[in-house]
Amino acid sequence: MTAQAIAASAPPRYRPLRFGVTRALTRAGAGGVQYLSADQPLQAYDARMSDRLGHWARSTPDVSFMAQRARRADGSLGDWRHLSYAQALDAARRIGQALLDRGLSAERPVLILSENSLDHALLALGCLWAGVPWCPASPAYSIVSQDFGKLRHVIQTLTPGLIWAEDGARYGRAIAAAAPADAEIVLSRNADAAALQGRASTPLAALLATAPTPQVDAAQAATEPDTIVKFLFTSGSTKLPKAVINTHRMWCANQQQMRQSMPTLQQEKPILVDWLPWNHTFGGNHNVGMVLANGGTLYIDEGRPTPALVDETLRNLREIAPTLYFNVPTGFDAIASAMKTDDALRRNFLSRVKMFFYAGASLAQPVWESLFESAERELGERVVMTCGFGMTESSPYGLFPTSPDIQAGDLGLPTPAMECKLVPAEGKLELRYRGPNITPGYWRAPEATAEAFDGEGFFCTGDAVRWIDDADPNRGLRFDGRIAEDFKLATGTFVSVGPLRARVIAGGAPFIQDVVLTGLNRSEIGALVFPTPAVRSLAGLPADAPLAEVLRHPAVRARFQSLVTDLSLTATGSANRVARLLLLAEPPSIDKGEVTDKGSINQRAVLKERDALVQALYDETPGVDVIKPGAAP
């Protein structure tokens, strides 16, 4: 055997990464129920997250807690502006005193409207220190939505006493339309914006100028493990968003769970370059909490995995080398593509990163391979790609892989002290869990809270899982779709939406943003496809060409006709054979509930709102836009 052949057959080398939970404890229950947990106990953890801020402000006062590029007068982004741990604590005490002076509480919390920023962080830390809950609402509810329906729902649920926004011009229209008269408005800039319609406001600088008293430190000392830290709204992918109660116990326990499942956090302070929004548990609890709990630094990335903003992310990664890197699949896709030719990006980005972590959707195999190729070219070894499972209700960290040898969809084993319950449901296994990181419920929604937990106190996720290896539970679990999304064909054949949806997206990469599967009570499965901007590259039309024209271009139709044909030929039966496809020129609507602010598709809402297209998809004589296997492009 040649040296080249030996190298090709050898197992891949990975940059060293230790996995903290590699063995499982299982037990059987009645009616086919199975219980699964880690084989190790959860070690001691802090009583409150604010203690970590005080600890690092005393022990490493000059270390940067966060950094953000300063914005120049012309709107461009300049050099990094750093916030040290000592500065963060000083600001937190000042803002916290101002919040106490206003009598704010869980009944009258703080509502944050704006994106990630240093000011956002300071206000949140002030709330944390004073024991006043806050809620970071999705910015999309204010700047994308046209009717502000979900913002009004958030406000009605919380009854905030103070509402903060970074920019009066950017958020003024939403404030004028939805903010109640008895809520104080606080702004960082543009308090005289016309969009505010004369609504009075307080500058954030006034809160920062407040002199702290012993009262604010006493308030911090009075907080307990069950004190509410903040409210995070669910994505609303199936119903109106619910306000998930987040306590100190949940957040602190989850950070210790992460340390034990990801031992790298105990070996090196994390350095993150991160854009993930703080109104979501991934960005706001997982990543901000990881930095605060372990004394690391978070560089706020104002880029996004979109054609218009990804260059800012690439610029930041050329300059700041993270130790761990988190993103969604579209972000990794853009980075993988850029690293093929960008030597500076590849060299700096890979220089000290120990682990990649994706979430939010399935990561296409070609993206994995491209990331591995760049790492092997630069380092001579791969960087481990990981994923896991978590929800807003679990703080969110819940399951994590047991080795570097994972595939898309592998979830791994539960973190210490979080017990999983696998319950037979609709021919699948529903995942439920219980532990110190699980929410006590939804704010002001006792009925929804009662529905969310079973008789043993396990939170019912509605997600299905299966064993990676039925003979070896130590390998853990694999995602098997959302039970509520699955349906039956007219033949009675059960369609498992999650795995098939992932297969369609992977087969159509990089041209499919998302897909909604159809076929309830019909004889065949169909697909409504939301394309990515990359589809324009197939058509070669002018950049301003209408998307509908792009989607009818012969080259585009040929690409998707090939996809449908491949899916049909490789199917094992009607339950996973996509027989017809329709490309959608109109993006999903947040106001109609078709998509959440983080981009998650609400399958049922799309099917309801686009019923006419579903009917057209199944016409006996389908229109020219319907693409079928073997059809001429």
The amino acid at residue 65 is F
The residues with which 488 forms a beta bridge, in sequence order, are 494
Residue 121, token pair as written in the block: 């962080």
Give this prediction's pTM: 0.88
pLDDT at residue 8 tops 60: no
Cα–Cα distance between 463 and 223 in angstroms, integer?
A: 34
In one-letter notation, the amino acid at residue 16 is P
The span from the CA of 205 to the CA of 615, in Å, is 56
Question: What number is the average pLDDT over the span 195-211?
Answer: 97
- Residue 440 is predicted with a pLDDT of 98
Buried b (16+ CB within 10 A) or exposed e, 552-565: ebeebbebbbebbb
Q: What is the pLDDT of residue 483?
A: 84
pLDDT of residue 11: 86
d(CA 443, CA 392): 13
pLDDT higher than threshold 70 for residue 5: no
* Banded pLDDT at 509 (limits 50, 70, 90): confident
More confident residue, 443 or 602: 443
Of 192-206, 445-459, 498-512, the least confident: 498-512
Helix, strand or coil, per DSSP, at residue 146 = coil
Is pLDDT of 597 > 70? Answer: no
Which two tokens mark 186? 């606080």
Checking if the pLDDT of 74 tops 60, the result is yes
Asked if pLDDT for residue 202 goes beyond 60, the answer is: yes
| Percent of the chain with pLDDT strictly greater than 90 | 78
What's the rounded Cα separation, in Å, for the pair 501 and 158? 36
pLDDT at position 167: 97
Q: Quote the CA–CA distance of 435 and 457 in Å, as a whole number.
A: 9
Mean pLDDT of 598-627: 86
What separation in angstroms does the CA of 82 have from each of 42, 210, 269?
Answer: 34, 22, 17
Band (pLDDT 50/70/90 cuts) for residue 65 is very high
User: What is the predicted pLDDT for the residue at 361?
Assistant: 67
What is the mean predicted confidence (pLDDT) over 571-591?
Answer: 90
Average pLDDT in the chain: 93
Structure confidence at residue 1 (pLDDT)? 36
pLDDT at position 236 is 65
- pLDDT for position 598: 63
Stretch 598-626: mean pLDDT: 86
The whole-number pLDDT of residue 4 equals 42
Nearest to 603 by CA among 235, 141, 242, 237: 237
Residue-wise pLDDT tens digits, 248-295: 999 999 999 999 999 999 999 999 999 999 999 999 999 999 999 999
Give the per-residue pLDDT at 496: 85
Query: Where is mean pLDDT largest: 93-107, 402-416, 593-607?
Result: 93-107
Query: What are the backbone dihedrals phi and psi of residue 429, each rounded to the nearest 5 degrees, phi first?
Result: -115, 115
Q: How would residue 495 be classed by pLDDT, with cut points 50, 70 and 90?
A: confident
* pLDDT tens string 128-187: 999 999 999 999 999 988 899 999 999 999 999 999 999 999 999 999 999 999 999 999
pLDDT tens digit string along 91-138?
A: 999 999 999 999 999 999 999 999 999 999 999 999 999 999 999 999
The backbone torsions φ and ψ at residue 50, rounded to the nearest 5 degrees and listed phi first, read -60, -25
Tell me what percent of the residues of the chain surpass a pLDDT of 70: 97
Identify which of 535, 536, 498, 492 has the alpha carbon closest to the alpha carbon of residue 515.
Answer: 498
Reference 115, options 308, 391, 302; nearest CA is: 302
**Residues near 251 by Cβ (< 8 Å), separated by ≥ 6?**
49, 229, 285, 289, 395
Rg of the Cα atoms in the chain = 25
Residues 327-332, mean pLDDT to the nearest whole number = 88
